[in-house]
């Protein structure tokens, strides 16, 4: 019970204040991402509320904030647009059919993500190399920075143009003031979150000073919305759209669902790793998968946008002292209260204050150490770091991380493929011994085969694996082929110091080789890599 309360609210005051700060930052983010997806801002706001509440209560990382995200919005937009086009062409046209398709898709997304959690797939995030993690945070910091540049534009005759003159200078001044407060206030006191103080101070200056600046309210109106006030979207029409419009479109729905599920899980699990490092603690990836899946299903049922972990808001939260579940709960409930009761006040908050907060998030997110070490790490790691950063900016997080892992795996496989060696010596009785060193797997099979010359070798051969291990089926197959070459030439061959697992697999593949496998009492207990992975997964 004591552990539960410590996890729930280790510091109630810090959790409450940081939660309020995060709630203020969630408003423009949710609105902006809703516009990216091509849906009503209220759908994004209610989606952020439901995601934040469910994952804060049941997620695997206390203090982590979830909500509507840009990474998922970019994936949603194509399906929503196509759904709207289908809705217009129906005999009985359906308005916003793409939004209803989104709700159905989120139900599938939730089922996929919950299945990943129940199958304990969250642990595979541990396979992400450190250069990929550095590239991820750097790319994400750049994406956050670029996304904030749009706030320096205004609506002129239906088009967005960059601010200029006094409007630009006022905007820059307020952003700088916000960043200065967030930078210097923690040096004076840690009792009050710097971001919350900065937002209040800048908002007071603009409201009481009569400055004509862009606010949350004007931002929504410029994007085509009507304001923060409203009610939950209806989901009853989903049944109609399911029966009358999905025929022939299930491919789009399912592919979008799998992509959304993957993007959401990758971003959330990567964020867990980052917050773990900041807080020097450890979250549960599997629990987060289940909670996030449940939250997305809830969004699908009750008309929210869905989402995943938000790295920027999570960093704001933990840096402001929010380390317990209470902080995320407060953020979600405060967001709902803003929508239902405090919309007029929240709409007066200047965008400049929120931009300043996000710029400080950029500064805190970017791995500045990566610049210092870029010329000190292996060239392959440097390439991965830069590539992941670039792909994150160019495409999206999921593609960047998957690409980084693939590049790292290929580099690792190539390096290990070139490591295999065969030391050769002759015994007094004329037996030629091949002492194998290095891993034998799919990448090193070709080099392994090149070490042998069956036609010119003596009549007695011994292949010693005391300093090697056979790591996969390709290695087993290569070993079997080499053995048969010598047997077909009428030569004697012995395989020594094979691991027990390798012996079992080799005999399963080719029982005729039993006579050439030497059972030594000093066999090293090496294990096949795939068996170790299976054992780890079962744990």
CATH classification at residue 475: 3.30.750.24
For 419-449, write each residue's pLDDT tens digit: 888 999 999 889 999 999 988 888 899 999 9
Q: Are residues 251 and 169 in the same domain?
A: yes
Q: Are residues 149 and 286 in the same domain?
A: yes
Contact (Cβ atoms closer than 8 angstroms) between residue 500 and residue 530: no
Within 10 angstroms of residue 127's Cβ, the number of other Cβ atoms is 11
Q: Are residues 40 and 160 in the same domain?
A: yes
What pLDDT is recorded for position 48? 93
Instruction: State the distance between the two ends of the chain, measured CA to CA, in whole angstroms.
Output: 26
What pLDDT is recorded for position 529? 47
Into how many domains does the chain fold?
A: 2
Determine, yes or no, domain membership for 483: yes
Determine, yes or no, domain membership for 200: yes
Contact (Cβ atoms closer than 8 angstroms) between residue 301 and residue 285: no
Give the Cα separation of 102 and 90 in Å (integer).
18
Tokens of 516: 């050439």
Q: Are residues 102 and 172 in the same domain?
A: yes
Q: Are residues 272 and 314 in the same domain?
A: yes
Determine, yes or no, domain membership for 360: yes
Q: Are residues 369 and 478 in the same domain?
A: no
Please say which residue of 388, 408, 436 terminates a domain. Answer: 388
For 299-349, write each residue's pLDDT tens digit: 998 889 999 998 878 988 888 888 889 999 999 999 998 888 877 887 888
Determine, yes or no, domain membership for 399: no
Q: Are residues 24 and 97 in the same domain?
A: yes
Cβ density class 186-198: b for 16+ within 10 Å, e for less: beeeeebbbbbbb
Q: Are residues 129 and 253 in the same domain?
A: yes
Q: 130 lies in which domain range?
A: 2-388
For 63-96, write each residue's pLDDT tens digit: 899 998 877 887 888 888 888 888 888 777 777 7
Give the Cα separation of 105 and 300 in Å (integer).
7
Q: Are residues 233 and 304 in the same domain?
A: yes
What pLDDT is recorded for position 247? 74
Q: Are residues 515 and 471 in the same domain?
A: yes
Q: Are residues 373 and 429 in the same domain?
A: no
Give the Cα separation of 227 and 76 in Å (integer).
23
Determine, yes or no, domain membership for 166: yes
Q: What is the largest CA-CA distance in the chain?
A: 100
Q: Are residues 217 and 303 in the same domain?
A: yes
Give the Cα separation of 474 and 171 in Å (integer).
62
Determine, yes or no, domain membership for 62: yes
Determine, yes or no, domain membership for 398: no
Tokens of 97: 């059919």
Tokens of 269: 């699990």
Q: Which residues contact 457 (CB under 8 A, 6 or more apart)?
A: 432, 486, 491
Determine, yes or no, domain membership for 410: no
Q: Edge-to-edge, what's the strand order for the sheet holding 432-440?
A: 421-426, 432-440, 460-470, 492-496
Please say which residue of 372, 388, 404 terminates a domain. Answer: 388
DSSP SS3 for 460:
strand
Low-confidence ranges of the chain (pLDDT < 50): 1, 235-238, 241, 521, 523-533, 535-538
């Amino acid at each position: 019970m004591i552990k539960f309360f410590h996890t729930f609210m280790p510091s109630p005051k810090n959790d409450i204040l940081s939660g309020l700060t995060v709630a203020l930052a969630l408003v423009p983010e949710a609105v902006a991402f809703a516009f990216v997806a091509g849906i009503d801002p209220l759908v994004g706001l209610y989606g952020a509320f439901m995601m934040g509440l469910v994952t804060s209560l049941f997620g695997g990382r206390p203090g982590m904030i979830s909500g509507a995200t840009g990474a998922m919005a970019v994936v949603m937009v194509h399906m929503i647009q196509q759904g709207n086009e289908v809705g217009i062409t129906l005999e009985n046209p359906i308005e916003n059919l793409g939004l209803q398709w989104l709700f159905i898709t989120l139900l599938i997304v939730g089922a996929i993500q919950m299945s990943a959690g129940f199958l304990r797939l969250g642990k595979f995030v541990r396979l992400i190399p450190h250069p990929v993690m550095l590239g991820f945070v750097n790319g994400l910091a750049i994406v956050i920075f670029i996304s904030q540049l749009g706030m320096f534009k205004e609506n002129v005759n239906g088009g967005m143009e960059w601010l200029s003159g006094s409007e630009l200078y006022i905007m820059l001044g307020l952003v700088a003031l916000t960043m200065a407060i967030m930078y210097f206030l923690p040096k004076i006191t840690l009792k009050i979150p710097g971001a919350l103080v900065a937002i209040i101070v800048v908002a007071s200056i603009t409201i009481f000073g009569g400055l004509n600046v862009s606010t949350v309210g004007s931002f929504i109106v410029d994007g085509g919305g009507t304001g923060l006030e409203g009610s939950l979207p209806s989901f009853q029409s989903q049944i109609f759209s399911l029966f009358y419009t999905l025929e022939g479109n299930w491919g789009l729905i399912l592919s979008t669902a799998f992509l959304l599920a993957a993007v959401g899980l990758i971003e959330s699990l990567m964020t867990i790793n980052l917050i773990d490092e900041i807080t020097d603690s450890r979250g549960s990836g599997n629990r987060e998968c289940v909670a996030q899946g449940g939250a997305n299903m809830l969004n699908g049922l009750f008309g929210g946008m869905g989402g995943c972990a938000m790295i920027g808001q999570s960093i704001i939260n933990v840096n402001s002292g929010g380390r317990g579940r209470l902080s995320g709960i407060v953020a979600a409930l405060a967001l709902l209260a803003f929508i239902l009761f405090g919309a007029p006040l929240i709409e007066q908050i200047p965008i400049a204050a929120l931009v300043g907060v996000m710029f400080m998030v950029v500064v805190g997110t970017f791995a500045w150490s990566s610049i210092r070490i870029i010329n000190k790490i292996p060239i392959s790691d440097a390439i991965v770091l830069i590539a992941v950063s670039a792909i994150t900016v160019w495409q999206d997080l999921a593609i960047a991380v998957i690409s980084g892992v693939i590049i790292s795996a290929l580099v690792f496989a190539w390096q290990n493929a070139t490591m295999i060696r065969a030391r050769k010596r002759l015994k007094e009785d004329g037996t030629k011994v091949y002492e194998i060193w290095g891993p034998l797997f799919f990448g090193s099979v070709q080099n392994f085969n090149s070490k042998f010359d069956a036609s010119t070798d003596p009549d007695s051969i011994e292949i010693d694996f005391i300093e090697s291990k056979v790591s996969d089926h390709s290695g087993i197959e290569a070993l079997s082929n080499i053995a048969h070459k010598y047997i077909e030439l009428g030569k004697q061959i012995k395989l020594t110091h094979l691991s027990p697992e390798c012996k079992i697999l080799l005999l399963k593949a080719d029982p005729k080789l039993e006579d050439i496998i030497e059972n030594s009492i000093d066999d090293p207990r090496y294990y096949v890599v795939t068996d170790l992975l299976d054992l780890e997964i079962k744990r």
